C-alpha cells in the first residue's frame, strides 16, 4: 500500500466508513449514514467514491428500489482461510489486512473514549511499544507464556466484578541491519 493510499484512509470520514465495514460487513449508503450522522450524504458519497477508486472498498450488490439502484459496499480484502493463504499474500495485501486490524483497534478505542466516563488508569488502558532483544528460542518461549496466560484469562465467564477488556498483540521485527 503506497503512502498516498495510506493518507487516503486516514481521513476521519473514510476511517469511519472503513470501521463500519470491518469483519465482512456489507452496508448501503443509508446504513453508513446512520453510523456517521454528522456527515452530509453528498460528502459520504464523495468519500465512498474515493475509496472505490482506490480499490479499498467494492460494490458487492445493487438493489433495485423504486426506479433507483441502491449499492451495497464492503471492504476489499484478501480471503485468508489458512496459514498457507496468509503466507501467500503480497506485501500490499498484508498491509491492507494490517490496516483493517489497526482500524478496528482505533474504532474500539474511540468507542471507549466516547462513553463519557473513561477512567484510563482504573480501566488499565495502555499502549506502548517495547523494543526487546531475544534469541528465536527466547522469543518463542515469551509468545508461548503470553499465549498460555491469555488462554487462561479467556476462559473467565463475564460477571459483575469482571470488566471486559480487549488485548491486541502486534509483533513487528526490526529491519535487518546490513553487515559491512
Question: Which range has the worst mean pLDDT, 54-63, 127-136, 148-157, 163-172?
Answer: 163-172
Per the structure, the complete domain to which residue 1 belongs is given by 1-111
Structurally, the chain folds into a number of domains equal to: 1
Residue 178 has pLDDT above 70, yes or no: no
Decide if 158 is inside a domain: no
Decide if 66 is inside a domain: yes
- DSSP 3-state percent helix, strand, coil across the chain (nearest 5): 45, 10, 45
Asked if 10 and 19 count as a contact pair (C-beta separation under 8 A), the reply is no
Predicted pLDDT of residue 6: 73
Decide if 148 is inside a domain: no
Report pTM. 0.66
Decide if 106 is inside a domain: yes
Per the DSSP assignment, residues forming a β-bridge with 62 are 71
Q: What is the CATH number of the domain that holds 95?
A: 1.10.10.10
Amino acid at each position: 500500500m503506497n503512502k498516498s493510499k495510506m493518507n487516503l484512509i486516514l481521513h476521519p470520514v473514510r476511517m469511519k466508513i472503513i470501521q463500519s465495514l470491518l469483519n465482512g460487513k456489507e452496508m448501503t449508503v443509508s446504513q453508513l449514514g446512520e453510523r456517521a450522522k454528522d456527515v452530509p450524504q453528498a460528502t459520504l458519497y464523495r468519500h465512498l467514491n474515493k475509496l472505490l477508486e482506490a480499490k479499498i472498498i467494492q460494490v458487492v450488490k445493487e438493489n433495485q428500489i423504486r426506479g433507483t439502484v441502491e449499492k451495497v459496499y464492503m471492504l476489499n480484502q484478501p480471503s485468508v482461510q489458512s496459514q498457507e493463504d496468509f503466507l501467500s499474500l503480497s506485501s500490499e495485501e498484508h498491509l491492507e489486512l494490517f490496516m483493517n486490524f489497526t482500524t478496528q483497534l482505533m474504532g474500539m478505542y474511540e468507542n471507549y473514549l466516547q462513553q463519557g466516563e473513561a477512567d484510563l488508569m482504573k480501566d488499565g488502558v495502555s499502549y506502548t511499544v517495547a523494543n526487546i532483544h531475544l534469541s528465536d528460542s527466547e522469543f518463542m518461549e515469551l509468545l508461548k507464556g503470553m499465549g498460555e496466560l491469555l488462554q487462561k484469562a479467556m476462559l473467565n465467564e463475564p460477571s459483575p466484578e469482571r470488566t471486559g477488556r480487549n488485548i491486541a498483540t502486534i509483533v513487528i521485527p526490526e529491519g535487518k541491519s546490513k553487515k559491512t
